[in-house]
């Protein structure tokens, strides 16, 4: 690794919860263009903070991606559904490890590395094993994805998929692989009849 690359990977000091998204504009434009999506730049009322919003079509759904100077990279998609299915995948911290030992129900997927890193909770564990295949688990581990959730609102027969990645947007290769992960997840939600086609 040359010295320039080493410098780019070093933190320049504490971010204090702020990262500059301006340099990522061209990356998001490229991704939106390649995936036939749309890229928008927004600002807060004082014009100090920049927000990037990207929409990517996938079959009949829209994948919404957002990142701002003060908020992490998030991917969100909404669906119509009749099935009451809920799924939460998050980093396993000390409290979760204690709760697990006390008998909190967790879905084990059979991938030791993934099962140690993530706490998986669902009201339908059998469906989780069909939806979250090994390749998808590997991408979550590779990019240290913070959380992924799918929650249903039975009253209005709709659901939302939300994936929280990290504070910084990352590079194009990473974003494209995570978008592919979300597309595959949507396809698997359709295949298992969780989401209405």
Does residue 10 belong to any structural domain of this protein?
no
Does residue 7 belong to any structural domain of this protein?
no
> For the chain, what is the domain count?
1
The 10s digit of each residue's pLDDT in 67-103 is 887 778 899 999 998 799 999 999 877 666 665 655 6
Does residue 45 belong to any structural domain of this protein?
yes
* Residue 42, CA distances (Å) to 39, 47, 54 in order: 10, 9, 11
Does residue 76 belong to any structural domain of this protein?
yes
pLDDT of residue 23: 67
The 10s digit of each residue's pLDDT in 130-154 is 999 999 999 999 999 999 999 999 8
Which residues span the domain enclosing 100? 16-191
Residues 74 and 60: their CA atoms lie apart, in Å, by: 20
Asked if 137 contacts 120 with a C-beta cutoff of 8 angstroms, the reply is no
Section 43-63 average pLDDT: 89
Asked if 77 contacts 161 with a C-beta cutoff of 8 angstroms, the reply is yes
Query: Within a 10 A sphere around the Cβ of 185, how many other Cβ atoms?
Result: 21
pLDDT of residue 169: 66
- pTM for this prediction: 0.82
pLDDT of residue 176: 96
């Amino acid at each position: 690794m040359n010295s320039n690359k080493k410098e780019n990977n070093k933190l320049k000091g504490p971010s204090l919860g702020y990262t500059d998204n301006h340099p990522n504009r061209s990356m998001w434009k490229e991704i939106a263009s390649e995936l036939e999506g749309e890229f928008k730049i927004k600002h807060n009322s004082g014009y100090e903070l920049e927000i990037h919003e990207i929409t990517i079509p996938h079959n009949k759904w829209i994948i919404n991606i957002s990142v701002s100077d003060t908020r992490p990279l998030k991917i969100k998609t909404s669906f119509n559904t009749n099935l009451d299915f809920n799924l939460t995948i998050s980093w396993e911290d000390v409290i979760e490890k204690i709760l697990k030992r006390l008998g909190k129900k967790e879905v084990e997927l059979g991938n030791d590395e993934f099962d140690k890193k993530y706490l998986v909770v669902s009201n339908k564990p059998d469906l989780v094993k069909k939806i979250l295949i090994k390749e998808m688990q590997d991408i979550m581990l590779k990019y240290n994805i913070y959380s992924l959730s799918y929650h249903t609102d039975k009253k209005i027969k709709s659901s939302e998929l939300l994936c929280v990645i990290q504070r910084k947007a990352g590079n194009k290769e990473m974003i494209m692989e995570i978008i592919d992960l979300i597309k595959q997840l949507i396809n698997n939600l359709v295949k298992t009849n969780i989401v209405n086609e």
